[in-house]
Structure 1
Amino acid sequence: MRISATAAAASAALGGALVLGLAAVPAAQATPAADTAGCTTDVFGIAGKYGEFVLGDNAHTPDAEGAVAVGGNADFRGGFSVANELTTAEVDALPGRASLVVRGELLNDDSVTAVMKGNAVVGGRVKDRALEMHSGTFGKNADLIDFDAEFRKLRSYSAALAKQPASAGTEVTPSGSKLTLEGGNTTRNVFKVTADQLEKAKDIYLKVPAGATAIVNVSGTTYDMAKAGTTGFFLSGGQDYVLDDKLQSASDGKVRARLLWNFPEATTVTKSSKAAWPGSVLAPKAHLDLGTGAPVNGSVWVASLRGSGGAETHHFPFTGCLPETGETPPPTPPPTTPSSTPTTPPPTTATPSTPATPSASDTPDTSTSTPAAPGTPAPADSTPPGKKDGDLASTGSSGTVPLVIGTVVVLAAGAGLVIAARRRSGRA
């Protein structure tokens, strides 16, 4: 039996639709949810390269072992040193190789501000005494880092991270003046606690497998260690608990390096002078008072900061595995044609949906790809698009429904054309 040209075209459309329909299923599973798979160790971008990343003013003495970036004014009038513990690779990764960045003024009251490694960039005046540069150069530039854009990202991520459910099997156990957090997941453990629970704990114990990430999401607008007189954080990677300090830590520091304290709602966080605080602190809306005694053994990302005496920040960068930021993938093209040639017009038998206009998230973020030299403005970062309900990652299934519907339409139209062609052939 001879098949007409119309029937042949319909058969081709039918075959193409079948191919598209088969391809739709694996596409929906291409991007796993963040809580089951994907993770990143560089979610904080530029901010993650600094041990102190502060949106507003930073009044601190005597030192920060890592890099310091200040979006407001820096008050180092008691004397301050920066970046002594950075490696060459860590310096090279900084914007403009600048281990000290101050967008506003730097006040030192004739005290020494020493930059041990890397460059220094200040936007405003350096009042009273020039910086003491040990291995880098000094430059004037108020735009090396877009602090406002970076903190929009940090606040958005902190809020989304707080919506992650507590990991299965994690336990938060108050017992008198002792609070124990325990999780057994070898990859990532998410804990949910209130500021009130932490404030009642004189001693805080955390136990996770060595090498696993621990995220402690803390709800509440204020947290003050002094309320309970917190004196110690004890960590375990599966062995005995170890009171954390600079020279001693559980599993050779593997636990504190992957420990994140997230305060999405807090406006003030106060560290007791008696307790060395292990892990990194994400409190992008909060003023952090470090007190006058013990250090933070990790990085801090806060709205403003004050600390003196032994209240240093020690260089133990965060290396944990966090949920990916969930950049929306480019939209899946609708089933306009079975042909692979993009210029072929779509079949008249089906009306495909209009392709979505790519959003800002489809454009790669190049803000950290090329470090800017001192004195050269860095590219401004665009504000990341909002994420529905605080989702951290896309499941990749958003394009599946229109694709399946389009496939059904093409199948039906193609079948109708085949039947009509055969009837005409029979009458002939």
Structure 2
Amino acid sequence: MRISVPAAALALGGSLVLAGLVAPAAAHAAPSQCLGLGVANLYGEFVEGDDTHTPDAEGAVAVGGNADFTGGFSVGQELTPEQVKALPGGNALVVAGKLTGNNTQVMKGNGVYGSKAEGAVVQAHQGTVAQGKSPIDFAQEFARARAVAGELARMPQTAGATVEAKGKGLYLTSGDAAFNSFTVSAATLQGATDIFVKVPAGSVTVVTVTGDSYDMAAAKTTGFQLWDEGKKAYVLDDKLQSAHGGAIRSKLLWNFPTATKVVKSSQAAWSGTVLAPNAAFDLGSAAPVNGSVIVKSLTGKGGAETHHYPFTGCLPTTPPTAPPTTPPTTAPPTTPPVVPPTGTPSATVTPSTPGSTGAPSTPPTTPGTTGTPAPSVTPSASGSPSVPATGRPSASASASPSASASASAAVPGASASPSAGAVTEGGLAHTGSGPVVPLTIAGGLALAAGGALVLVARRRKAAGRV
């Protein structure tokens, strides 16, 4: 089908305006994000206050208060070179307050302390140890940890997830491949001698424990059993064995948002990372935590170690909110204007120009006609753009209705009206992005050029009649 020059010009102008309105919308797309544990997630023991502990921590240790390592303490044996490099200042040991202990060994990385007790000895095997200011802002990091704990606590339990007591065992079961959330009371959890967790390998699992205190020793909990799909059986978690080669525990987080006291049973190796930012945490005198601990204070001795299995999961959160916009509106279909026969006068309604008295102006006449005024383009309820108060050119520009009619007749549906779904403000669609104004002006110029072509065509037509 042949398209007339005026119609093509108007269609081009409308396309340019639409391009300016729609293209920038893609810039609002926001990627999903994770709730970050910040610097705390780099350390096997991250303590806001005091840490009294022997004999060792396989990962890095950061203490915001004083550290009492009397009896001997080693730090960072299982750290990789990449993990050491990621630590603030490469410090595998950070003690903001006073360090006490006559045999503290930093196996990998550096160490820094605020002060030392008389006779205290601290040595580094693959780095340096020195007195200095803490490279960690503990107040800031624990504010973050508490915020994350609270946010996780507000997440609903995963649809279909169950928490079921069977005899002396407690079974937590959920099948979401990405994220599984459980909520259980401290009383229920500490009533179990064995805790069974069954979730898909690779998924992130958060168990939020409600209540002010939790005492695992109350029921003499003896083990954490994690489901291994390959073996079709629960596997007792320990340093030498774990379900799916440790893939379950590395993404397992125990969240205690309100607890002020948490006690680990000395008979059980606790599987997963413990987030208890308000709690005094008692490791007991035997059996390790196979994960990290983020706590207000910490005590432990004997075989109550922290093994280096840092949390590796992505804790989901709501993506960043896109810039506020008006809800999308859909413009109703427009009806092509009807061109009146030559010589038949038609009513003209001209929108008033800001600052005028509102009286309709005299419409221009087209050369070669009998003086019949040509109708001007007017705003309509169909959603066609008008000239907003900001002075942005509208899609109507200065084209006459005859040109609009030609465009509509030659290209059915071709219109400068905002496309369905475009966001409108003041009658002109936009997405709030910078390129809208220049592209809209370009569209207006193209429309004006189309109007000029219409005028030339009419003059030629009129000349042919003479």
Task: Confirm or deny: 8 A CA contact 1:56 1:73 kept in the other structure.
Answer: yes
Distance 1:289-1:17 versus aligned 2 partners, 3 A rule: farther
Q: What does residue 343 of structure 2 align with?
A: none
Q: Where do 1:179-190 residues align within 5 Å?
A: 179-190=170-181
Task: Confirm or deny: 8 A CA contact 1:116 1:133 kept in the other structure.
Answer: yes
Task: Choose the corresponding residue for 1:228, options 211, 219, 224.
Answer: 219
1:324 Cα shift?
4.6
For structure 2, the 5+ residue unaligned runs are 1-5, 327-385, 392-421, 431-440, 442-446, 456-466
Are 2:291 and 1:292 aligned?
Answer: no
In 2, Cα distance between equivalents of 1:408 and 1:149: 47
Cα deviation code 1:318-341 (max 9, x no counterpart)? 112321575566x4799xxxxxxx
In 2, Cα distance between equivalents of 1:72 and 1:257: 28
Could you tell me which amino acid in structure 1 is paired with residue 425 of structure 2? G
Q: What does residue 159 of structure 2 align with?
A: 168
Worse overlay, 89-98 or 122-131: 122-131
1:128 Cα shift?
1.7
Q: What does residue 22 of structure 1 align with?
A: 22
SS of residue matched to 1:157? helix
Higher relative contact order (CA 8 A, sep 6+): 1
TM-score by length of 1: 0.72
Q: What does residue 75 of structure 1 align with?
A: 68
Cα deviation code 1:130-156 (max 9, x no counterpart)? 202211101222231111111111111
Cα deviation code 1:157-188 (max 9, x no counterpart)? 11111212222221111123211011112222
Task: Confirm or deny: 8 A CA contact 2:215 2:263 kept in the other structure.
Answer: yes
Task: Confirm or deny: 8 A CA contact 1:43 1:325 kept in the other structure.
Answer: no
Q: What does residue 92 of structure 1 align with?
A: 85
Q: What does residue 315 of structure 2 align with?
A: 322
Are 2:43 and 1:50 aligned?
Answer: yes
In 2, Cα distance between equivalents of 1:162 and 1:408: 45
Are 2:212 and 1:213 aligned?
Answer: no
Are 2:125 and 1:131 aligned?
Answer: no
Q: What does residue 237 of structure 1 align with?
A: 228
Q: What does residue 373 of structure 1 align with?
A: none
In 2, Cα distance between equivalents of 1:78 and 1:222: 29
In 2, Cα distance between equivalents of 1:177 and 1:348: 75
Q: What does residue 374 of structure 1 align with?
A: none
Distance 1:267-1:350 versus aligned 2 partners, 3 A rule: farther
Could you tell me which amino acid in structure 2 is paired with residue 258 of structure 1? K
In 2, Cα distance between equivalents of 1:251 and 1:285: 32
In 1, Cα distance between equivalents of 2:16 and 2:280: 60
Percent identical residues: 51
1:305 Cα shift?
0.7
Could you tell me which amino acid in structure 2 is paired with residue 31 of structure 1? A
Cα deviation code 1:347-401 (max 9, x no counterpart)? 982459xxxxxxxxxxxxxxxxxxxxxxxxxxxxxxxxxxxxxxxxxxxxxxxxx
Q: What does residue 383 of structure 1 align with?
A: none
Q: What does residue 371 of structure 1 align with?
A: none
1:243 Cα shift?
1.1
Q: Where do 1:392-407 residues align within 5 Å?
A: 404-406=423-425
Are 2:94 and 1:104 aligned?
Answer: no
Q: What does residue 311 of structure 1 align with?
A: 304
Task: Confirm or deny: 8 A CA contact 2:387 2:428 kept in the other structure.
Answer: no
Could you tell me which amino acid in structure 2 is paired with residue 22 of structure 1? V
1:277 Cα shift?
0.1
1:22 Cα shift?
3.4
1:264 Cα shift?
1.1
Q: What does residue 398 of structure 1 align with?
A: none
Distance 1:197-1:151 versus aligned 2 partners, 3 A rule: same
Whichever of the two has the greater Rg, that structure is 2
Are 2:139 and 1:120 aligned?
Answer: no
Are 2:195 and 1:204 aligned?
Answer: yes
Cα deviation code 1:289-313 (max 9, x no counterpart)? 1111111000011111111111100
Could you tell me which amino acid in structure 2 is paired with residue 172 of structure 1? V
SS of residue matched to 2:115? coil
In 1, Cα distance between equivalents of 2:188 and 2:143: 28
In 1, Cα distance between equivalents of 2:300 and 2:20: 61
In 2, Cα distance between equivalents of 1:156 and 1:194: 20
Are 2:234 and 1:195 aligned?
Answer: no
Distance 1:96-1:171 versus aligned 2 partners, 3 A rule: same
Distance 1:328-1:52 versus aligned 2 partners, 3 A rule: farther
In 1, Cα distance between equivalents of 2:147 and 2:17: 41
TM-score by length of 2: 0.67
Distance 1:43-1:237 versus aligned 2 partners, 3 A rule: farther
Q: Where do 1:301-380 residues align within 5 Å?
A: 301-324=294-317, 326=319, 331=323, 349-350=388-389
Task: Confirm or deny: 8 A CA contact 2:44 2:292 kept in the other structure.
Answer: yes
Task: Choose the corresponding residue for 2:136, options 128, 142, 145.
Answer: 145
